[in-house]
Homo-oligomer: A and B are copies of this chain.
Amino acid sequence: MVIVMNPKATEKDIANVTETLKCLGLGVHISKGAHVTIIGVIGNKSILAGTPLELMPGVDKIVHIMESYKLASRTFKPEPSVIRVGDVSIGGKELAIIAGPCAVESEEQLLKIARAVKKSGAQFLRGGAYKPRTSPYAFQGLEEDGYKLLAQAREETGLLIVSEVISANSVEMALKYVDVVQIGARNMQNFQLLREVGRSGCPVVLKRGLAATIEEWINAAEYIMKEGNYNIILCERGIRTYETYTRNTLDISAVPVVKQISHLPIIVDPSHGTGKWSLVEPMAMAAIAAGADGLMIEVHHDPKCALSDGPQSITPENFDRLVQRISKLAPIVDRQYNLAH
């Protein structure tokens, strides 16, 4: 941490700041420039969390040098993390593909899609039992019955199940049915939920918030890790920008950035990220080419009749084509994707 003093700061102001820091047991380096003095702070800055040094007389601004997260940082753990779910790994050489409908609608719908994505080579089935929706008048999900249908689909197909949890007190119930819990974009900073999922120890897909910086997102992972759960898969799903042609702007550059600053695996959701089925395949290709560890894709056998997010769902036929292309792309980026799961 560096404290930049105001050009008009007095010697007394500078002494005042350095005394405060020393009293707290911190080391201090003073550097006097032609115009301003800067003070480098050495030691455990977390004890400063409640001391707004910005407000001390003569202080102009505080510049943070180190990132605010630790456990999720690449500095803390230089080798990439590989998350195990059943007999599948995420973050290693093999890519991971999670596919399925936005919302679980019925047994027939879910099983039809599950069989199709299994056949094309997906390892995970996704499906929403709870659907957070902007308007209270839109379909909100089948709730626990949705989880039950997902568990049934696992029985039949062997696919691992990924499904969203939307409140801290439903985590325990969800874990009776699913293999991986998903924390949605709207809940990325629902800290009670993060802590509860942290305590559960289960694998988590943590989606990036709609307007979250990469640093805030990794801090959300840090909340989970602080409770002892390191099984986190980050998922880029588009950020809000001024561009309205796409539903969101899929930030593919988050993939190599996360790879550089964190050891956690990262996958990409091009369905929510674009909001248009015709953009899903090219953006899925882009994500893997940029180094993503996997994909989350919305698939519906009859997008016209989907109760949620139909316009961004692709058909099983298009999904099959997409997986074929991904499997050919994989070796170009030193990955592999085995179609025979």
Which residues on A are within 8 Å of B, measured CB to CB?
2, 4, 7, 27, 29-36, 38, 40-44, 46, 49-56, 63, 65-66, 68-69, 75, 132-140, 166-169, 186-187, 189-192, 210-211, 213-216, 219, 222-223, 226, 239-246, 249-253, 255-257, 260, 273-274, 277-279, 282-283, 285-291, 303-308, 310-311, 325, 328-329, 332-333
What residues of chain B lie closer than 8 Å to A140, measured between beta carbons?
191
Closest to A261 in B: B245
| A246 contacts B239, C-beta separation under 8 Å | no
| A256 contacts B279, C-beta separation under 8 Å | yes
Q: Which of B31, B166, B308, B333 is in CB contact (< 8 Å) with A29?
A: B31
| A286 contacts B290, C-beta separation under 8 Å | yes
| B286 contacts A51, C-beta separation under 8 Å | no
| A283 contacts B256, C-beta separation under 8 Å | yes
| B187 contacts A190, C-beta separation under 8 Å | yes
List, sorted by A's number, 30 A–B pairs whose CB atoms are closer than 8 Å. Answer: A2-B2, A4-B65, A27-B33, A29-B29, A49-B139, A50-B306, A52-B303, A52-B304, A52-B305, A54-B310, A68-B135, A69-B135, A136-B191, A136-B219, A166-B192, A213-B243, A213-B244, A214-B245, A242-B242, A249-B253, A250-B253, A253-B283, A256-B279, A256-B282, A256-B283, A257-B279, A282-B290, A285-B290, A285-B333, A332-B332
CB distance from A134 to the nearest CB of B (A): 5
Q: Which of B46, B186, B288 is in CB contact (< 8 Å) with A137?
A: B46
- Known A132-B191, A137-B68; judge A249-B245 contact (CB<8 A): no
Which has the most chain B C-beta neighbours within 10 Å: A41, A44, A139, A190? A190
| A282 contacts B307, C-beta separation under 8 Å | no
What residues of chain B lie closer than 8 Å to A169, measured between beta carbons?
169
Closest to A41 in B: B33
- Known A31-B40, A332-B325; judge A253-B241 contact (CB<8 A): no
What residues of chain B lie closer than 8 Å to A307, measured between beta carbons?
49-50
Closest to A189 in B: B186
| A55 contacts B304, C-beta separation under 8 Å | yes
| A222 contacts B286, C-beta separation under 8 Å | no
Closest to A214 in B: B245
Inter-chain CA distance A272–B219, complex, in Å, is 20
What residues of chain B lie closer than 8 Å to A75, measured between beta carbons?
7
What residues of chain B lie closer than 8 Å to A215, measured between beta carbons?
245
Identify 4 new A-B residue pairs, CB closer than 8 A, beyond the known A27-B33, A33-B43, A260-B278. Answer: A40-B40, A54-B311, A63-B63, A136-B219
CB distance from A289 to the nearest CB of B (A): 4
- Known A50-B139, A307-B50; judge A246-B241 contact (CB<8 A): no
CB distance from A114 to the nearest CB of B (A): 20
| A49 contacts B138, C-beta separation under 8 Å | yes
